Amino acid sequence: MNTTLYTVTIPVFIKSLENLSGFIDKAVLHAEAPAEGASAINLPELMQARLAPDQFPFVKQVQLASDTAKAFAARLNGEEPVAMADTETTMEELKKRIDATIAVLKEVKPETVDGKEDAQVTIKWFPGKFITGFGYATEYVLPNFFFHVTTAYAILRHNGIQLGKADFLGAISLQDLA
Amino acid sequence: MNTTLYTVTIPVFIKSLENLSGFIDKAVLHAEAPAEGASAINLPELMQARLAPDQFPFVKQVQLASDTAKAFAARLNGEEPVAMADTETTMEELKKRIDATIAVLKEVKPETVDGKEDAQVTIKWFPGKFITGFGYATEYVLPNFFFHVTTAYAILRHNGIQLGKADFLGAISLQDLA
């Protein structure tokens, strides 16, 4: 695999969003059938759970991971990201949001990302400013994306959902040594 | 800036570790002079704080961020990472650990990372297996690094340290639009 602006972003986001959807599966499973000794989980409350009073809740962490991922290729090309309404009220809807985001990412053609290192990316909350495509990817999109996926994971862990690093990383592409 | 295996990893880790050191500065400041209405912070307790009973505490999250970052170039080249003893008991020592990690990263020459996409990277807990250098970077090192920095941040946030996204991302390389 060559290292390009596309290969270090879009496939990475797709895999991590699939993992994020798996976190929700485990939360739903826990709510439906708590393990012996585990506390009961109320899913609507879990969607609104947060780690600090002024932090975004779980539902918003997932929406922001989605937003960060789907904005990337669009912003590199001076286009508006695909809009999603942030109206999810159930874990099932949140999984659909993730699926829809993955579908957007799968439509991104590598040639619309690669070579955009020097593109001038404008972000509405920095008026009169731009960041290069490379800076946008490495200083904003990658850290911010993982920030929200990890915070979503941390909120679930804090609320007793049994998740581990293997859930966060997903399957690793191991091969047999010769 | 060109997108290479080096440019999407080592400088990204350095910046994020600098930000992580800044989180600790805010925790120390909070402990020394809590804002009006803020709860008192005990730094030794904060180093051992975690979000779930079976999660690593703050100190270990920082050590693992360090380990993940400093192992990257070494493993790509079949070398043992620079060893650090995991004996930090104060926030000051933890900041020195971060500084030492940054120093290791600053010594990494781009040519020892770039072009290593197809290197066979072996990891001790996957005996008989390897992962390519590219897979190691994108499936393991980048997600795992940000996982531990974000979890460290989340533990501090949960314990009342006033941190925000700007602390996590650090300064963004904005330029003036023409």
Q: What secondary structure letter does DSSP report for A112?
A: G
Residues 101-130 (A) with a CB less than 8 A from some CB of B: 114, 117, 120, 122, 126, 128-130
Residue B175 lies in a domain: no
Q: Which residue has the tokens 């009973």?
A: B53
Q: Look at residue A35 and tell me whether its pLDDT is greater than 90.
A: no
Residue B2 lies in a domain: no
pLDDT for position A4: 98
Residue A136 lies in a domain: yes
The parent domain of residue B123 ranges over: 10-169
State the smallest CA–CA distance between residue B88 and chain A in angstroms. 23
Verify whether the Cβ–Cβ distance B15 to A135 is below 8 Å: no
Residue A108 lies in a domain: yes
Of B113, B66, B65, B57, nearest in space to B89 by CA: B57
Residue B124 lies in a domain: yes
pLDDT for position B35: 80
Residue-averaged pLDDT of chain B: 96
User: For the segment B7-27, what is each residue's pLDDT rounded down to a tens digit?
Assistant: 999 999 999 999 999 999 999
Verify whether the Cβ–Cβ distance B16 to A158 is below 8 Å: no
pLDDT for position A119: 97
Angle at B32 between CA B26 and CA B33, to 5 degrees: 85
Q: Look at residue A39 and tell me whether its pLDDT is greater than 90.
A: no
- Domain at A102, CATH number: 1.20.120.450
Residues in chain A: 178
User: For the segment A48-62, what is each residue's pLDDT rounded down to a tens digit?
Assistant: 999 999 999 999 999
ipTM (interface predicted TM)? 0.97
pLDDT for position B178: 84
Query: Residues A32-41: what's their mean pLDDT?
Result: 84
Number of domains in chain A: 1
Q: Look at residue A38 and tell me whether its pLDDT is greater than 80.
A: no
Taking residue A118's Cβ as centre, other Cβ atoms within 10 Å add up to 11
Residue B67 lies in a domain: yes
Q: At B120, give phi and psi (nearest 5°).
A: -90, 105
User: For the segment A98-139, what is each residue's pLDDT rounded down to a tens digit?
Assistant: 999 999 999 999 999 999 999 999 988 889 999 999 999 999
Residue B1 lies in a domain: no
Structure tokens, B113? 């990372």
pLDDT for position A67: 98
For A130, the enclosing helix (H) or strand (E) is strand A129-132
CA of residue B135 relative to chain centroid, distance: 19
Q: Looking at the complex, does the CB of residue A144 fall below 8 Å from at least one CB of chain B?
A: yes
User: For the segment B22-61, what is each residue's pLDDT rounded down to a tens digit?
Assistant: 999 999 999 998 888 778 899 999 999 999 999 999 999 9
Residue B96 lies in a domain: yes
Is the model's pTM score more than 0.90?
A: yes
